Structures are given as structure tokens and as C-alpha cells.
Amino acid sequence: MKHWVRLASYFYPASWRRRYAMEFNALLEEVDTNWKDVLDILNGALTMQFTSWNLKSIALAFAVTGAAIAAAFAFSIPSQYRSTSVMQITTAGSAQGDGRSDFTKHINKMEQEVLSRTSLERLIIGLGLYKSQRREKPMEDIVQDMRNHEISIKPIHEAGGNRQDTLAFSISTTYPDPKLAQAMNRELTSKFIEQNVVEARRGRDLRMGENLEVLDPASLPGRPFYPHVGWFAFMGLFAGLLAGLTVSYAMRWRITIVRRPAH
């Protein structure tokens, strides 16, 4: 236990150690120690360190430490890459009112089929996705997580003039491997095209089915979508700065109270 007490004493400022180290070590040899003594010595050492620093030094030290910890945490998180494509569906004439609603229903129906459990299971197995997760979780849970977190489909409406209305939508896929993220997106755009043909052959709206196209093909992401190391470092810097200011004022307030003479 004396070893830990002596180790805690090294947190005192260098000026204190030069003046009192020999006396402290001599006293330490004559007494019994416990964990409470270790904490008391450590508390006294840190208090003296903080009171010997100015506000700027404490805030800077905490800010740098916070940024370093946050950046290290960000590097420990697996990178996620996002691939995006844009598809467009058009029809002759103006798609106002019920026509616009038919557009939306048509896309929603295709989306339900493309993101069905059977469809996504084939995509996962075909591309060899989520290999480690598949050993630990049932496929149903993996498919649900994929729908909720790795795939995003958002509509984009663009007026195309008097004789034509356009409804576009983006498809985003996220995965730790950039090439597989792109491959996922390509598979989904292909499935939309296939499903659109199926809907057209059912005779509901042949004009709609004949006018689905890929405006922007699946992109190959060059850098991770998440985590953003710079953002993590900035938040760590800010949190560390606040912590440093809080600790500095708290320690100085405590010292002021302790040193205030009793009346």
C-alpha cells in the first residue's frame, strides 16, 4: 500500500517534491497506510496542481485531452460509407390531384416489394453482407436493421412542364465497405426497374411503367459517411473546455472556502 501512496505523491508539483519529498518518504516509512490515504494524497496533489495553474492552462489541458479522447473514440468506431442514386418516373400530361397520388402509390408499392424480407434476404446472401451478424442474429432481425438503418428512400418532386410531370426519388445505402455500399445500391435500383415492369404488365398504368429511369447511378463513396473524426474532435474539445472551466472554478471555490477564517 505504501507503494501506491508514494506513487500518488508524484502528482504533486515538482517544486513541492523537491522541498518535501525526503520528509514525506521518511514519514511514510513510520506509518501504516490504506486506500483512504492514497485517495487523500491524490486529492491533495491534484488540488495543489489546479491551484498552481491559471484558468487558461486548466481549460486548455482539459480541452486538448477531451479532443484526443473523442478522436480516439471516433477511430475505434467502424467506418460507414454511403452510396446514393437517383431514379425518376415520368408520365405524359399533368399529374395533379389524383394523378400525383397515383404516382406516390405506384412508388410506394414498388418500395414494399423491393424492401420485402424475401428480396432483402436474397440481396444479403447474394452480396455476402453482414457475415458476422448472420452468425449471431436471425436473418429477420438483420433485414429489419437493414431497412431501418442502412437503406433510405426519399421522394423528390420536380415539375416537368405543361405536358409532363416528374417524380424522382433518391436511394441511399450504407455499409462499412464502400464497394459493397455501391453494390447494394445498384441491386436496389435494378430491383426497382424490375418491379416497375411487373406493375406495368399488370395493366394498371402502362405509361408509368415505361418511364422509370436512373438519373444518377449508384455513387462510389470516397470517404466515410460516419464517424466524422473532425466533428468528434470538435465536440470533445468543447466538452473538455467546459469541464476544465467547471473544475477550475470548483477547485478555486473550494480552496477559498477552506482558507476563509472562522468568525
**Per-residue model confidence (pLDDT) at position 244:** 72
Least confident range from 12-16, 223-227, 247-251: namely 247-251
User: Average pLDDT in the 194-213 region?
Assistant: 68
Conformation bin of residue 203: beta by default, left when phi > 0, alpha when psi is -120 to 50: left
The burial of 260, by beta-carbon neighbours within 10 Å (0-12 exposed, 13-18 middle, 19 or more buried), is given as exposed
CATH 3.30.70 matches 81-216? no
Least trusted range by pLDDT, from 28-37, 104-113, 220-229, 238-247:
238-247
Ordered by start, the domain boundaries in the chain are 1-52, 62-77+227-263, 81-216
| CA–CA separation, 89 and 108 (whole Å) | 13
Distance, CA of 193 to CA of 170 (rounded, Å): 14
In the structure, what pLDDT confidence band is assigned to residue 141 with cuts at 50, 70 and 90? very high
Tens of pLDDT, residues 52-68 = 666 666 667 677 777 77
Helix/strand/coil (H, E, C) string of the chain?
CHHHHHHHHCCCCHHHHHHHHHHHHHHHHHCCCCHHHHHHHHHHHHHHHHHHCCHHHHHHHHHHHHHHHHHHHHHHCCCEEEEEEEEEEEEEECCCCHHHHHHHHHHHHHHHHHCCHHHHHHHHHHHCCCHHHHHHCCHHHHHHHHHHHHEEEEEEEEECCCCEEEEEEEEEEEECCHHHHHHHHHHHHHHHHHHHHHHHHCCCCHHHHCCEEEEECCCCCCCCCECCHHHHHHHHHHHHHHHHHHHHHHHHHHHHHHHCCCC
DSSP state, residue 146: I
Per-residue model confidence (pLDDT) at position 118: 93
Q: What is the pLDDT of residue 128?
A: 94
pLDDT value at residue 53: 60
3-state SS assignment for residue 153 = strand
Q: What is the pLDDT averaged over residues 134-162?
A: 83
Q: What is the pLDDT of residue 184?
A: 96
